[in-house]
Structure 1
Amino acid sequence: MKLPNGPQISPLAQMVRWIANPMSFMETCAKSYGDIFTIRLDKNLPPLVMVSNPQALQQILTNDTKALEAPGDLNQVFESLVGKHSVFTLSGAEHQRQRQLLMPPFHGERMRNYSQVITDVTQKVISQYQIGKPFNIRSATQAITLRVIMQAVFGLHEGTRAEKLQQFLGELLEKASSRLLVALLYFPTLQRDFGPINFWGKHIRRQQEADQLIYEEIRERREQPHSSGTDILSLLMAARDEVGQPMTDEELRDELMTLLAAGHETTATALAWALYWIYKLPSVRQKLLQELDSLGDDPDPSIIFKLPYLNAVCSETLRIYPVGMLTFPRKVVRTPLSLGGYELEPGTVLLGSIYLTHQREDIYPEPKQFKPERFLERQFSAYEYLPFGGGARRCIGLAFAQLEMKLALAQILSSKELELVNKGEVRPKRRGLVTGPDRPIEMVVTSQRQVKSPILQTTTV
């Protein structure tokens, strides 16, 4: 079988580059080998064919040939965090069942229930920062997204368990963002106690402490269901599959961790990037404020959600440095697959590179420039622009993430005058299994903003 060309350095050297700086590694490969190339990260595992051609991505993600599967066992790197019953790690009918149980809370009218939570939490967090005192904007956006998840997903607003769980989960995700933990995830043989150097053991103990609190909450909810039942945990506990079966405690825990892992770090990073670009580029900030200030008193969240320039800013933020670099892997099964001029044999693993696709000069002229107008001037296909992945494993929380991003940005911009402390360039780097800024983005509140038309009336959190 002839695979696409790729780097000839050893698999170990490729793995080191992949862990240290995946964006640079992908760009170097694309420059040398084009929009389909092969990388080898482990001599004992199949090579990975990486694709950034929209036509090839469409073929992979729509699975028209039935020659591809998205087996959960290829996502075992996530298992230590989200468990064996997550939509990330399941395959086939089990994956489809979990996905169907998870989808209802993220659609339709139920989304409106989360709007006030997002706005209130954002207002409370951003109001804590004093005028003239610099702060890391990513710390602020992490506080926003974690607290939103605690309230909208777990249904926990206050109390000892809420405080402990928020602390444990915050620490767990912060430590999971280190390059060391990523290395341990990619090298399972290192996932053990090394005496004084016991990073993995500490990670597992942190996970167990969080799990204990999650299971306690699930047990209490089964005995005394929440009367409102609008948080996602309550909705998942009430959900039934086609044969009338609910999720088990283990399935609920794993899906809650999946929503946390997929919805906290990613949205916090996207918000931090958006604020960086908005305050780095005065013209972007001016246009955005003009659009927000044009709203009437107490506009409906759905109006904010549909604002064209706000949408363009969020879309360009997710394009230029997508938080998720790759689509979930697909494996060729049963019969060979013709892709990009190659005949790929069964067993070949394919990865769509979201990052490289978003950096294509032929689709996005001057791709390193932040230009929201791109998304006002033309419509991009689902295979040219795919920050939430695509196909059967497209992110379930897409609408929730977009709503949170837009409402949080609207609230921050409308209530505070901010400035970047350092307007120097910030580049993306690996942060755990996703990407993030390569240095802290420090901002400072210069004054309260006087707005005649508040975005949303806030209430006590």
Structure 2
Amino acid sequence: MTLPPTPKAPAWMQKAHWVANPVGYMESAKRQCGDIFTAKVGPQGTPLIYIDNPQGIQQILTKDTKELTAPGSVNGLLQPLIGDYSVILLDGASHKRQRQLLMPSFHGERLRSYGDLICNLAQQVMGRFSVDASFFARPAMQEISLLVILQAVFGVTQGERYERLKDLTSQLMDFFSSTAKSSFLFFPILQQNLGPWSPWGRFLHVREEIDKLIYAEISDRRQQDNSQRTDILSLMMSATDESGEGMSDRELRDELLTLLFAGHETTATSLSWALYWTHRYPSVLAQLQEEIASLGDHPDPMQIIRLPYLSAVCNETLRLYPVAILTFPRVVPENTSFHLMGYDIPAGTLLMGCIYLAHQREDIYPQPKQFQPERFLERQFSAYEFLPFGGGVRRCIGAALAQMELKLVLATVLSNYQLVLAEKKPVRPQRRGVTLAPETGIRMKLAGLRKQPSSTLAATRV
């Protein structure tokens, strides 16, 4: 069997290029090889096939499990962050059970209760900046996203445990905040605990301290009546499977860290890009602010998330530099082969939809490097042309919450604050862990208030 073409560089050079500059690697491979190529960047020489063709992506995301599997074990590099019992790392029946236990927590009606909280937290963070002050957008958006995770997901709103979790989780995420730091995930040989002052030793210490706080919260919650609470931890604790069993403490811990990793970092990055693009293009900003203002002074959050131009702006932000650049891997089972785009793919091969390259296809998105929200008003894209949250049975379980938070925070900031982009040069994407993020923090300036923010910032027990 013949694998699809591969870039000309040797395997070690491909992996180094992939880790250091994933966008550069993918675009170079696309130019050399076309819609499908063999990427020599996997663990222990495992062949990885990247596809950006929508028909090919549909084929790998919708095939029966007898033809392709989606084992969680291939995401093993995330284990230090999210543990062994995360839905991302589980397989088969265990994955199906865990997903069924989690899904009710992210139902649309459940999310409705978080709308005012998200808007208030955005105002709380932005309200700390004085007029004419300069600030970096990404740390500000990261703080908003972290507060949403702690209050809406963890259900912790105040007190010493809340403050400690806020501090420690920020430290944990910063361990992989650059290309160099991300190498610890891709090269396990670097994961050496040489004491509390070594990078990996410090990471393990911070993770252990977070674990103590999470397990203490779970223990306290098990002794309380949580029937009136709407935070996601309480909902997960009340969920049971077909046999009446709920999640163990370890499962709850791993899912909380998964939601922290997958929801906190990614949403902060998307919000940073959204602020960058809207302030780089004044006509986009003006149209968006006019649409938001049309709802009046105190719009219902559910009205905000239905605004068409706001939705288009957020979708174009997710298209241009998607935070997740690949779909969850599919694997050809043993003793079989899989026919894909003219190739018979051998057993053991990993297949991945390349989200970034799919979003850059000129035949689907003319002038793909340009920020053009209108394209999402003029055309409905298929789930295999626009897939910022992946697809199939492994699609991001928190997609609805992420989209809601992106829209509400962006609308809150733009309707209340007059910001100016202070970056002089175009901002490029760079690796941050396994995601793409702006290479700078995106420097901005608070030029003034559009209106006096009205907020109900009293701690809300969700």
Alignment TM class, shorter chain as reference: over 0.9
Superposed CA deviations along residues 24-80 of structure 1, whole A, max 9, x for unmatched, are 000000001001000112573311111100000000011147310010110001110
Superposed CA deviations along residues 339-387 of structure 1, whole A, max 9, x for unmatched, are 0110011111111110000001110000000000000000000000000
Task: State the shift of 1:180 in Å.
Answer: 3.5
Match of 1:399 in 2: 400
Superposed CA deviations along residues 238-293 of structure 1, whole A, max 9, x for unmatched, are 00011110100000000000000000000000000000011110000010011011
Match of 1:438 in 2: 439
Q: What is the distance in 2 between the residues matched to 1:179 and 1:427?
A: 13
Task: State the shift of 1:153 in Å.
Answer: 0.4
Match of 2:428 in 1: 427
Percent sequence identity is 53
Closer/same/farther in 2, CA of residues 279 and 423 from structure 1, 3 Å limit: farther
How does the TM-score come out when normalised to structure 1?
A: 0.96
Match of 1:363 in 2: 364
Task: State the shift of 1:176 in Å.
Answer: 2.5
Checking the alignment, whether the CA contact within 8 Å between 2:329 and 2:352 is kept in structure 1 is yes
Closer/same/farther in 2, CA of residues 302 and 196 from structure 1, 3 Å limit: closer
1:59-458 aligned within 5 A: 59-64=59-64, 66-194=66-194, 198-226=198-226, 228-334=228-334, 335-450=336-451, 458=456
Checking the alignment, whether the CA contact within 8 Å between 1:49 and 1:348 is kept in structure 2 is yes
CA-based RMSD: 1.6
Checking the alignment, whether the CA contact within 8 Å between 2:40 and 2:46 is kept in structure 1 is yes
SS in 1 for 2:298: coil
Closer/same/farther in 2, CA of residues 246 and 227 from structure 1, 3 Å limit: closer
Checking the alignment, whether the CA contact within 8 Å between 2:121 and 2:457 is kept in structure 1 is no
Superposed CA deviations along residues 362-417 of structure 1, whole A, max 9, x for unmatched, are 10000000000000000000000000000001011111011111111111111111
Q: What is the distance in 1 between the residues matched to 2:367 and 2:207?
A: 43
One-letter amino acid of the counterpart of residue 456, structure 2: T
One-letter amino acid of the counterpart of residue 282, structure 2: P
Checking the alignment, whether the CA contact within 8 Å between 1:422 and 1:442 is kept in structure 2 is yes
How does the TM-score come out when normalised to structure 2?
A: 0.96
Task: State the shift of 1:457 in Å.
Answer: 5.4
Match of 1:8 in 2: 8
SS in 1 for 2:430: strand
Task: State the shift of 1:423 in Å.
Answer: 4.2
Checking the alignment, whether the CA contact within 8 Å between 2:428 and 2:438 is kept in structure 1 is yes
Match of 1:19 in 2: 19
Checking the alignment, whether the CA contact within 8 Å between 1:87 and 1:99 is kept in structure 2 is yes
Q: What is the distance in 1 between the residues matched to 2:195 and 2:249?
A: 33
Checking the alignment, whether the CA contact within 8 Å between 1:240 and 1:247 is kept in structure 2 is yes
One-letter amino acid of the counterpart of residue 437, structure 1: P
Superposed CA deviations along residues 209-248 of structure 1, whole A, max 9, x for unmatched, are 1111100100111112446321000000000011110100
Q: Is 1:32 the equivalent of 2:24?
A: no
Task: State the shift of 1:132 in Å.
Answer: 0.7
One-letter amino acid of the counterpart of residue 398, structure 1: A
Checking the alignment, whether the CA contact within 8 Å between 1:315 and 1:375 is kept in structure 2 is yes
Q: What is the distance in 1 between the residues matched to 2:340 and 2:140?
A: 44
Q: What is the distance in 2 between the residues matched to 1:237 and 1:61?
A: 31
Match of 2:52 in 1: 52
Task: State the shift of 1:450 in Å.
Answer: 2.7
Checking the alignment, whether the CA contact within 8 Å between 1:276 and 1:441 is kept in structure 2 is yes
Q: What is the distance in 2 between the residues matched to 1:241 and 1:181?
A: 39
Q: What is the distance in 2 between the residues matched to 1:108 and 1:449?
A: 31
Task: State the shift of 1:438 in Å.
Answer: 1.1
Structure 1 unpaired stretches of 5+: none
Superposed CA deviations along residues 121-153 of structure 1, whole A, max 9, x for unmatched, are 001001001111100011110010000111000
One-letter amino acid of the counterpart of residue 362, structure 1: D
Checking the alignment, whether the CA contact within 8 Å between 1:12 and 1:42 is kept in structure 2 is no
Superposed CA deviations along residues 178-206 of structure 1, whole A, max 9, x for unmatched, are 33442222222221135797211111111
One-letter amino acid of the counterpart of residue 76, structure 1: G
Checking the alignment, whether the CA contact within 8 Å between 1:119 and 1:458 is kept in structure 2 is no
Match of 1:460 in 2: 458
One-letter amino acid of the counterpart of residue 378, structure 2: E
SS in 2 for 1:395: coil
Checking the alignment, whether the CA contact within 8 Å between 2:359 and 2:386 is kept in structure 1 is yes
